[in-house]
Structure 1
Amino acid sequence: MRGFIFDMDGVIIDSEPLHFQVEQDVCKKYGVELAEKELESYVGTRARDMWQQIKKTHGATFEVSAVLNEANERKQAYVVSGKVEPISGIKELLAALKNNGYRIGLASSSPRPFIEAVLNSFGISDYFDVVMSGEEVANGKPAPDVYRETAEKLGVQPDACTVLEDAAHGVQAALAAGMRVIGFVNPNSGSQDLSAAHDQVNDIGQIQPQAAEIVIEKNQ
């Protein structure tokens, strides 16, 4: 058995600009000005972990749970509005993986309601054998917990899993889980160091699943 595990934000949905905008707007209500560079440092981590660190760093007085809920509601409303499409090539990659017999998982740091909103909005839920949220494991990325748990539920050994990630924290998590990692260079995810990944792609179409392995086509 071979497995392929997707991150979601910045890989399936080009959502980091949405996250940045909502997080800056919500923080402004509480008198906290967030620079985009600061937000880039949290890409790939769980929202609750991010808000707790922002509160500590800025000495803010907001309740983490209240801010988390408000931000999540805004993001979900935007996704279900139908104004966003999956990243180019994702549906074709999912179909190719399924046709070549891969077990397919999703291991996202986002809350499950947001994950489900994205997958349902894009009509791709049925491709995934396992869907995991980072909120459902003890430690979020860059810890390997969510990737290890996803592989276990897929019934695939970690060293037989390939991960697609756009964030440095996610690459670190997948490597720590003992998996092959493909870094997707998404400019909208900010300045992410993907150099530790085994491969890097600028286009999802470069990833070509075959029955025995995942082949990476070079840029033309």
Structure 2
Amino acid sequence: MKAFIFDMDGVIIDSEPIHFEVEIGTVKYFGAEITQQQLENYVGMTAPEMWNEIRNEYKLAHPVEEILAYQLENKIKALRASELEPIEGIKEVIEGLKQRQIPVGIASSSSPEFIKEVLLKFGLTEYFDCIVSGEEVPKGKPAPDVYLKAAEQLGVKPEDCVVLEDSSHGVTAAKAAGMRCIGYVNVNSGNQDLSRADLIVSSIHDINLDDLSRL
């Protein structure tokens, strides 16, 4: 392992409940109804790709750009008002990687604006050697683009990277990039198929940095 790449939502912070709540409210605002169970199918996708699909499926009349602007504004408001803390154990993993001089990055499907808000809220910006949004590459997860871009920015070959993910789309993206992947079972991320991950953990505390060579 020469680099470690984190997904963000559901891995660094338990933000999926915020996403679900705002997305349900956004669909309702634009004239339709959607459930959390239905939204679970989109976990790990970028907002533009997700809202294109939802707009077509639920026959929303407004343009995607308007929907995106509304949901982003409300997600940032909800994040700022929340009492969220980083997921238990995640800071210790990040600090452990830094102590071992292993480069760390973020490869998230969230927008650059939301990633920035999260890292500022928790004072984590300085920990990461690269930050890549799925909206900054040609295709979001489950395509491997965001992870390949992160590896490129870190100056490491994809096969020398380990990824931490909580969604089926994210695991698929990491494996498609040729990386090893830890699947984190986060109950708040919904019903996610992590079976393709090389290692599955139910707690961040179960990640042993000295034992990752077995991946």
For this structure pair, what is the TM-score category when the shorter chain's length is used for normalisation? over 0.9
State the 1:27 CA deviation.
0.9
> Sequence identity of aligned pairs in percent?
50
State the 1:215 CA deviation.
6.4
Question: Residue 158 of structure 1 aligns to which amino acid in structure 2?
Answer: P
Q: Supply the distance in 2 between the matched residues of 1:79 and 1:17 (Cα, whole angstroms).
A: 11
Query: Is the Cα contact below 8 Å between 2:2 and 2:102 reproduced in 1?
Result: yes
Q: In the alignment, which residue of structure 2 is the partner of 1:111?
A: 111
Deviations 1:171-208 (A, max 9, x none): 00000000000000000000000001000001101112
Structure 2 counterpart SS, 1:88: coil
State the 1:82 CA deviation.
5.1
Q: Are 1:4 and 2:4 counterparts? A: yes
Structure 2 unmatched runs, 5+: none
Aligned-pair RMSD on alpha carbons? 1.3
State the 1:30 CA deviation.
1.8
Written as runs of structure 1 = structure 2, the 5 A alignment for 1:40-79 is 40-79=40-79
Q: In the alignment, which residue of structure 2 is the partner of 1:34?
A: 34
Structure 1 counterpart SS, 2:42: coil
Q: In the alignment, which residue of structure 2 is the partner of 1:174?
A: 174
Written as runs of structure 1 = structure 2, the 5 A alignment for 1:76-91 is 76-81=76-81, 83-91=83-91
Deviations 1:50-70 (A, max 9, x none): 111001111110221111111
Query: Is the Cα contact below 8 Å between 2:3 and 2:103 reproduced in 1?
Result: yes
Query: Is the Cα contact below 8 Å between 1:82 and 1:121 reproduced in 2?
Result: no
Query: Is the Cα contact below 8 Å between 2:12 and 2:90 reproduced in 1?
Result: yes
Q: Supply the distance in 1 between the matched residues of 2:180 and 2:212 (Cα, whole angstroms).
A: 10
Structure 1 counterpart SS, 2:152: helix
Q: In the alignment, which residue of structure 1 is the partner of 2:204?
A: 204
Q: In the alignment, which residue of structure 1 is the partner of 2:151?
A: 151
Q: In the alignment, which residue of structure 2 is the partner of 1:126?
A: 126
Query: Is the Cα contact below 8 Å between 1:100 and 1:209 reproduced in 2?
Result: no
TM-score (norm 2): 0.96
Q: Supply the distance in 1 between the matched residues of 2:194 and 2:63 (Cα, whole angstroms).
A: 33
Q: Supply the distance in 2 between the matched residues of 1:114 and 1:85 (Cα, whole angstroms).
A: 15
Q: In the alignment, which residue of structure 2 is the partner of 1:214?
A: 212
Structure 2 counterpart SS, 1:66: helix
